[in-house]
Amino acid sequence: MFMLFKSLIKPKKVLTTVREDITLAEALQVLESSGFRCVPILDRTGQIFRGNIYKMHIYRHKSRGGDMQLPVTYLLKNATKFITLDSAFFNIFFTIKDLPYITVLDEHNFFYGILTHSSLLNMLSQSWNVNVGSYVLTVVSTGERGDLVSMAKIITKYTSIASCITLDVQATNLVHRTLFTLPAGITNEKLKKIVANLERKEFKVTEIENLQD
């Protein structure tokens, strides 16, 4: 996971950043010339992450007659929103949820780069195997122990499984949805047999998505 995650990061050397000692007016020039809506603020050494500066916050400040010669740190946001190179996937996923990107720090807590929302979503779409799959089956179960194994055994009587994602895993949910992506080359006849066998074992197939359409 470390190497895969690291390959998704845009390193500092290719990024547009601003130093903490520039003014809001200077930061706005950087944002306008780069076309980005948000860039990281680093300390004077270029190693310590201070926060992010958003174009919309500067414009709002300016429209209200605010002093544009104030330091850029006056409007910094997301100072505590960062991950490290060895962060767990779930920490990454939930930290980046409401951000255009998440800052990544190295083992010395120095600014390493950013992981963008789009890069993470692309990785997830690849893991779903939508480009090489044939069908995605949404199978509903009660979440009993052994259900996932039982469903997988039924499907693998006929084909391999390209990917599997389980949803609704909170303790309060009475049903779980499991999405099985089947590999390419599955015939309609084989698909019907898989669905029939799943439902014979009381696993309800609520949706079948044809990835080739």
Structural domain for 134, as ranges: 130-207
- CATH number of 157's domain: 3.30.70.260
Confidence band for 198, pLDDT divided at 50, 70 and 90: very high
- Of residues 121 and 151, the one with the higher pLDDT is 151
91 and 187 share one domain: no
109 and 20 share one domain: yes
95 and 196 share one domain: no
Q: Residue 139: enclosing H or E segment and its boundaries?
A: strand 133-141
Domain boundary (123, 152, 180) is at 123
**37 is a domain residue:** yes
158 and 60 share one domain: no
117 close to 100: Cβ distance less than 8 angstroms: yes
What's the pLDDT at 152?
96
**76 is a domain residue:** yes
pLDDT of 1 above 50: no
**147 is a domain residue:** yes
How many other CB atoms are there within 10 angstroms of residue 151's CB atom? Answer: 21
Q: Which DSSP state fits 74?
A: G
Q: Which residue has the tokens 């692309």?
A: 122
pTM (2 decimals)? 0.68
Number of domains in the chain: 2
What's the pLDDT at 92?
82
34 and 86 share one domain: yes
Confidence band for 170, pLDDT divided at 50, 70 and 90: low
pLDDT of 130 above 80: no
Alpha carbons 96 and 102: distance in angstroms, whole number = 5
Residue 174, C-beta contacts closer than 8 angstroms, at least 6 positions apart: 142, 143
16 and 112 share one domain: yes
Token pair for 12: 């500092």
**198 is a domain residue:** yes
- CATH number of 6's domain: 3.10.580.10
Confidence band for 104, pLDDT divided at 50, 70 and 90: very high
Alpha carbons 55 and 35: distance in angstroms, whole number = 10
Residue 160, C-beta contacts closer than 8 angstroms, at least 6 positions apart: 183
Residue 119 φ/ψ, nearest 5 degrees = -65, -40
Burial class (CB in 10 A: 0-12, 13-18, 19+), 118: exposed
Q: What is the pLDDT of residues 15-30, one digit of tens each?
A: 999 999 999 999 999 9
Average pLDDT in the chain: 89
Burial class (CB in 10 A: 0-12, 13-18, 19+), 27: buried
18 and 112 share one domain: yes
Q: What is the pLDDT of residues 46-88, one digit of tens each?
A: 999 999 999 999 999 999 999 999 999 999 999 999 999 888 7
What's the pLDDT at 189?
95
Domain boundary (90, 105, 123) is at 123
pLDDT of 212 above 80: no
88 and 20 share one domain: yes
50 and 89 share one domain: yes
